[in-house]
Chains A and B, each alone.
Chain A
Amino acid sequence: GQSLEQPSEVTAVEGAIVQINCTYQTSGFYGLSWYQQHDGGAPTFLSYNALDGLEETGRFSSFLSRSDSYGYLLLQELQMKDSASYFCAAMDSNYQLIWGAGTKLIIKP
C-alpha cells in the first residue's frame, strides 16, 4: 500500500530550529511536497523536492533522499505564527498527492 509516516507532534521553543521527518512508500514517485495548515484553515504550499538535496526558501528548507525514501522540513528562527500542522505529500505515478497524517508543531515562548 501507499503510506507516509511523520511524527504526530513536535514541540520547540520560539527562535529555535526544528526538523520534521517524513518517510514514504508509494507506487511510483515523482517528488515530495510540504504543506502548512493552521487550525481551521486550508493547506498552503511550502515546498516541492523532485531531486535529492536541500531546497531553501527563507526560513524554511526541505530535503529529499530518494534512495532512502525520506525527506524532512527544516524550520529556522521559529516564530509563534509557525504553530500549525505540517504535512508531507508524495506525488505518485498518477500525479496524485498521497498525504501523511500531519505533524502538529507546538511552539513555546
Chain B
Amino acid sequence: GAGVSQTPSNKVTEKGKYVELRCDPISGHTALYWYRQSLGQGPEFLIYFQGTGAADDSGLPNDRFFAVRPEGSVSTLKIQRTERGDSAVYLCASSPAGAEGETQYFGPGTRLLVL
C-alpha cells in the first residue's frame, strides 16, 4: 500500500515569506508526527496529532510554526516569516495509534531552504 507522502519534496523561499508543507499519512493511521532534521543531526520532534487534535505541540520552536490536521488525515505544517535558521528537512511520520513502541513510518521529507 501507499506509504507516507510529503509535498513539496523541495522548497526554496526567501527570508520573511510564508510556507506550507503537506503530509499525507498512511490511510487509517490516527497518529501523525512532524519532525525537523538538520544535517548531521537526529530528527527533532515538533508536534504530534492524535486524530484531528494536536496532542503535544511542545516541540514547536516558536509561534511562527503552526500545524493543522482538520479531517484527521492530511496535515499541513505552516511557517510564517521564515528565517534562515528554519532551513532543514521537515519529516512527517504516522503510526497506527500512537501507542508505546509503535513503529513510526516516515515520509521522504521536504527540504526547506530559506535564502
Contact = CB atoms under 8 A, between A and B. Distances in A.
Contacts of B43: 43, 87, 97, 99
A45 B104 contact: yes
B101 interface: yes
Contacts of B49: none
Interface string A1-42: 000100000000000000000000000001101000000011
Interface residues of A, number: 23
Contact of B42 (A42, A44, A48, A101): A101
B40 A48 contact: no
B56 A99 contact: no
Interface in B6-57: 40-45, 48, 56
Contact of B101 (A4, A50, A98, A99): A50
Contacts of B44: 99
Contact of A97 (B99, B104, B108): B104
Contacts of A99: 42-45
Contacts of A30: 100-101
Contacts, number: 55
A48 B101 contact: yes
A96 B2 CA distance: 24
A91 interface: yes
A73 interface: no
A43 B100 contact: no
Given A95-B100, A99-B42, 8 more contacts: A30-B100, A42-B109, A43-B91, A50-B100, A87-B42, A89-B42, A96-B45, A102-B42
Interface of B: 4, 40-45, 48, 56, 58-59, 91, 93, 98-101, 103-109
